[in-house]
Amino acid sequence: MFDFHLLDMVELCMEKFVSLQEVKTAKCPEGTKPLLIFAGDAFEINEDYRRLKSLLIDFFRGPVVSAIRLAGLEHVLHFTAVDGKIFLRSYKVI
């Protein structure tokens, strides 16, 4: 939303969902900025995938900060585009 107008929208179908309640490991603290990794040529070649990549970067960006603690990498989101599907994996660095 910008100025009360919807500029871009993407509709996705989830085939398999695992909730955070089902994951029995420690969770990342709220507000943690994830490192985003996009794997697959489609994110660079296909215009729809490029738009989705841009939307995901905007969605997970979080607030602007003046400095980043380089030793503080805690969370990685890995998006993989293959065979017309997008897979998302979330990793917590321990």
Shortest CA distance to 76 belongs to which of 39, 24, 21?
Answer: 39
Whether residue 62 is predicted with pLDDT greater than 90 in this model: the reply is: no
Domain residue extents for the chain: 35-92
Q: What is the pLDDT of residue 1?
A: 59
pLDDT of 52 reads: 94
| Rounded CA separation 33/74 (Å) | 8
- Alpha carbons 90 and 34: distance in angstroms, whole number: 9
Whole-structure pTM value = 0.80
Q: What is the pLDDT of residue 6?
A: 72
What distance in Å separates the CA atoms of residue 15 and residue 87, rounded to the nearest whole number? 10
Model confidence at 72, pLDDT cuts 50, 70, 90, reads confident
